Amino acid sequence: MTAMAASHDSARAIAADVAAGRIRASAVVERALDALARARALNAVTRIHADRARDRAAAIDARRDSGEPLGALAGVPFAAKDLFNVAGHVTGAGSRATDADAPAERDADAIARLEAAGAILLASTTMDELAYGFTGECERDGATVNPRRSGGSDAPRVTGGSSSGSAALVAAGIVPVALGSDTNGSVRVPAALCGIAGLKPTYGRLSRGGTYPFVDSLDHVGPLAANVADLAVAYDAMQGLSDRDPVQARRGREPVADTLVAAGPPGAGRLGGFFVAPLHADVRDAVDAACDALGARQQVELPLAEAGRAAAFVITNAEGGALHRSALASRPDRFGPLVRDRLRAGALLPASWVSRAQKLRRMLTGQLIAALERTPVLIAPATPCPAFPSGTERCEVDGRSLAVRLDIGLYTQALTLTGVPIAVVTTIGRRSGLPVGVQVVGRPFREDQVLAAAAALERAGFAAAPEPLT
């Protein structure tokens, strides 16, 4: 690899070459900054941290020159959704409601952990306003553009959200790893629509310290990457206890990257019932192929899945509305109209509704845990369909008209309440020519099994090379 190599090398390859002296971290950063400059059409970035990245790269090069050991992600550029605090900057969270906030005093834990492993923060990325959306279309910052194209078409398509810019930069090969958050599917939906890998870890597994909150009882942070091995390396680096997240599980580091292949895929089953329809034919084919690859013969149903999705709506609206109640009353003009109306409605929900939703959450979680006791991982579709053109309000899938802003998260939101770890891997649909994804659902704190199954699917063809802009 040389300084003129493509910008979409894997994180592991970059780190190995920096450690071996085959390339300087400074050259990697300049290459990535150049790629960012050529990717403005994606509208994926809210702030480029060029000076910080160059200083960080120079420090890594100096450590290498002096013979000091380097971390597992040495010299790897990464991006972070603009709800991760970056010291010295206001955390935008895709909203004018944050304009008057003070700059962050310190980095988010996830950024600090990745940089401790040698990674280099390159940019903060676009997102749906306040993380409340599934499409990547934002009132303040505009729509993020999916690098993927269908059959040579130039029609811009959504990335999915709310981790839209992070997914777009990985899919375009500009960074091999990016940070996202997932409340109802905000890592998994953009991973599926952009053709990359994503991980929503177990609720509480990774620290959310220094992130802009949305729904405290549902918020997760997680990585997006071009491949499962890089996903695992990033996940390992993000582990560690923090005093900044009161719900973080008190567990030590449990690395998974070194045993990803050797462990072999665990037994698998298929989620049926609610998860069977509506599905675009390409998504149905992907789920079938994933089940065949993992030998998933048993079908499992979660009778409360549909009701669980409704409960997720209630909890999301109620907690999000409560969080922003004061600002909604004092400066409503700073919120986009769609988000403002939903948050206002959430702030008015009866407490009895929220109580019933939490009860249903416990019941659905019990159903899923019982199913996972019999089968270590379960396969489900990630989205009902591939990415649709920007601005689409409704689309027909499998004979059913879907409201895309809500229903693109049909299958992620139904599982969010349970808090279990879920990975997404993708393939290119034969009919659409666009990425489609499957979810790999696992037992609590068994990210090792989830990622081992995801890696097995990748070896079976669930992978899509980055699509650099030309």
Contacts of residue 174, defined as CB under 8 A and 6 or more positions apart, other chains included, come to: 7, 8, 32, 35, 36, 39, 77, 79, 468
From 26, 162, 164, 181, the catalytic residue: 162
- The pLDDT value recorded for residue 152 is 53
Tell me: the pLDDT tens digits for 343-365? 999 999 999 999 999 999 999 99
Give the residue extent of every domain in the chain. 11-459
Tell me: the pLDDT tens digits for 93-141? 999 999 999 999 999 999 999 999 999 999 999 999 999 999 999 999 9
- The pLDDT value recorded for residue 5 is 36
More confident call, 153 vs 418: 418
The residue-averaged pLDDT of 69-77 equals 97
Task: Give yes or no for residue 468 having a pLDDT over 80.
Answer: no
Contacts 24+ apart (CB under 8 A), 456-459: 456/264, 456/265, 456/293, 456/294, 457/290, 457/293, 457/294, 457/425, 458/197, 458/227, 458/228, 458/425
Residue 370 φ/ψ, nearest 5 degrees: -65, -40
Q: Please provide the average confidence, as pLDDT, over all residues in the chain.
A: 95
Q: State the pTM of this model.
A: 0.96
Percent of the chain with pLDDT over 90: 93
From 7, 10, 26, 81, the catalytic residue: 81
From 163, 186, 207, 390, the catalytic residue: 186
- The pLDDT value recorded for residue 4 is 30
Task: Give yes or no for residue 1 having a pLDDT over 50.
Answer: no
Tell me: the pLDDT tens digits for 359-383? 999 999 999 999 999 999 999 999 9
The residue-averaged pLDDT of 386-396 equals 94
- Which CATH architecture describes the domain 11-459? Alpha-Beta Complex (3.90)
Look at residues 120, 133, 140, 141 and name the one whose alpha carbon lies nearest to residue 163. Answer: 133
Indicate if 81 belongs to the active site: yes
- The pLDDT value recorded for residue 409 is 97
Indicate if 207 belongs to the active site: no
Tell me: the pLDDT tens digits for 228-250? 999 999 999 999 999 999 999 99
Look at residues 42, 400, 459, 454 and name the one whose alpha carbon lies nearest to residue 223. Answer: 454
Residue 467 · residue 173 · CB < 8 Å? yes
Predicted confidence band of residue 153 (pLDDT cuts 50, 70, 90): low
Predicted confidence band of residue 150 (pLDDT cuts 50, 70, 90): low
Indicate if 200 belongs to the active site: no
**Is the CA virtual torsion 249, 107, 336, 142 positive or negative?**
negative
Tell me: the pLDDT tens digits for 398-435? 999 999 999 999 999 999 999 999 999 999 999 999 99
- The pLDDT value recorded for residue 381 is 98
